[in-house]
Amino acid sequence: MDSSSFRSGFVAIIGLPNVGKSTLMNQLVGSKVAIATPKPQTTRFNLRGILTGPNYQIVFVDTPGIHEARDLFNRLMVEQALRALEEVDGVVWVVDASDRRPQAEEKILEIIKRAEKPTILVLNKIDLIKKGELLPMMDYFSRAHPFRAIVPVSALERDGLEELVQEIVAMLPEGPAYYPPEMVTDQPERVLAAEIIREKLFLLTRQEIPYSTAVVVEEFREDPEKNLLIIQATIYVEKDSQKGIVIGKGGQMLKKIGTLAREELEFIFGKRVYLDLWVKVLRGWRKEERLLRRLEFPYF
């Protein structure tokens, strides 16, 4: 193929919390690159997912949900999302068609206008709305901003994704492939392992617990003779009471988190995994820069 007809570029996936950004990226890439849960603010830092076709390579940047942030940690999350807009060739704005939040959407629209990057609007979760609601919604958004395209999809059902990929490729400049064609993410394996553990925490614990936890993988090594991956990770919480909840009665909660995480990690890495989890208290980690550095957050 003539290399001059190859298109490539970086595309930020932005939107409010919990609109399906991570699910959309995973479905587009065809692999679990970003964790996804029904809770808002699951994504904490920009993650890259890579989709390579015969004449294109799209590098998706999945960003934290843009929200009114109060503490230092959440402000840094939102700053990450906004910084991604400066460094990409195009933007995909994901809106939850089944749960419209006009005031918050208006703020994101202002951000998009300021960024002055070609933008595709994705109306996600169309499987959850009545057919008659879609056209007025598309009409409303087409008057609000000159989007490159407005594409209705259901990320979960994989509906509309082919058309979305075509629109994204058309938006990208001609250029080289940035990554080998078989790569689906540039995320280190130990970061992916930490994220999978955190996903299980999000899914199994309630109220403030998921937001008060951080996971650091201390050890990640292979034992080739046993075809075994040895992972030792620490779950950090902010209070002693939270430590008790994460461990659970007789260690049951921690065991459940570990079992679910291990099963998924074995599937992802294609080998047996020995997973050793510890829980420690690190008071106020969301509020202090030095503690965020210690927890290896990629903000600094």
Q: What pLDDT sits at residue 3?
A: 47
* 231 assigned to a ligand binding site: no
* Angle of the 189-204 helix axis to the 252-269 helix axis, nearest 10: 140
* 126 assigned to a ligand binding site: yes
* 159 assigned to a ligand binding site: no
* 181 assigned to a ligand binding site: no
Q: What pLDDT sits at residue 296?
A: 80
Q: What pLDDT sits at residue 261?
A: 98
CB count in 10 Å sphere of residue 185 = 22
Q: What pLDDT sits at residue 1?
A: 40
* 111 assigned to a ligand binding site: no
* 15 assigned to a ligand binding site: yes
* 63 assigned to a ligand binding site: yes
Instruction: Walk along the chain (300 residues) and give the pLDDT tens digit of each residue.
Output: 444 589 999 999 999 999 999 999 999 999 999 999 999 999 998 999 999 999 999 999 999 999 998 899 999 999 999 999 999 999 999 999 999 999 999 999 999 999 999 999 999 999 999 989 999 999 999 999 999 999 999 999 999 999 999 999 999 999 999 999 999 999 999 999 999 999 999 999 999 999 999 999 999 999 999 999 999 999 999 999 999 999 999 999 999 999 999 999 999 999 999 999 999 999 999 999 999 988 987 765
* 96 assigned to a ligand binding site: no
CB contact set of 48 (below 8 Å; sequence gap of 6+):
33, 59, 60, 61, 62, 185, 186, 187
φ/ψ region of 30 (left if φ > 0, alpha if ψ in -120 to 50, else beta) reads: left
* Domain spans, the chain: 3-171, 189-294
CA angle 113/162/109 to nearest 5° reads 15
* 65 assigned to a ligand binding site: yes
CB count in 10 Å sphere of residue 84 = 21
**What value does the CA radius of gyration of the chain take, rounded to a whole number of Å?**
20
* 196 assigned to a ligand binding site: no
* 244 assigned to a ligand binding site: no
Amino acid letter for position 8 = S
* 227 assigned to a ligand binding site: no
Integer Cα distance of 10 and 168 in angstroms? 10
Q: What pLDDT sits at residue 4?
A: 57
* 191 assigned to a ligand binding site: no
* 224 assigned to a ligand binding site: no
Q: Which CATH number fits domain 189-294: 3.30.300.20, 3.40.190.10, 3.30.300.30, 3.20.20.70?
A: 3.30.300.20
* 91 assigned to a ligand binding site: no
| Closest to 297 measured CA to CA, from 72, 69, 33, 88 | 72
* 254 assigned to a ligand binding site: no
* 16 assigned to a ligand binding site: yes
Q: Which CATH number is associated with domain 3-171?
A: 3.40.50.300
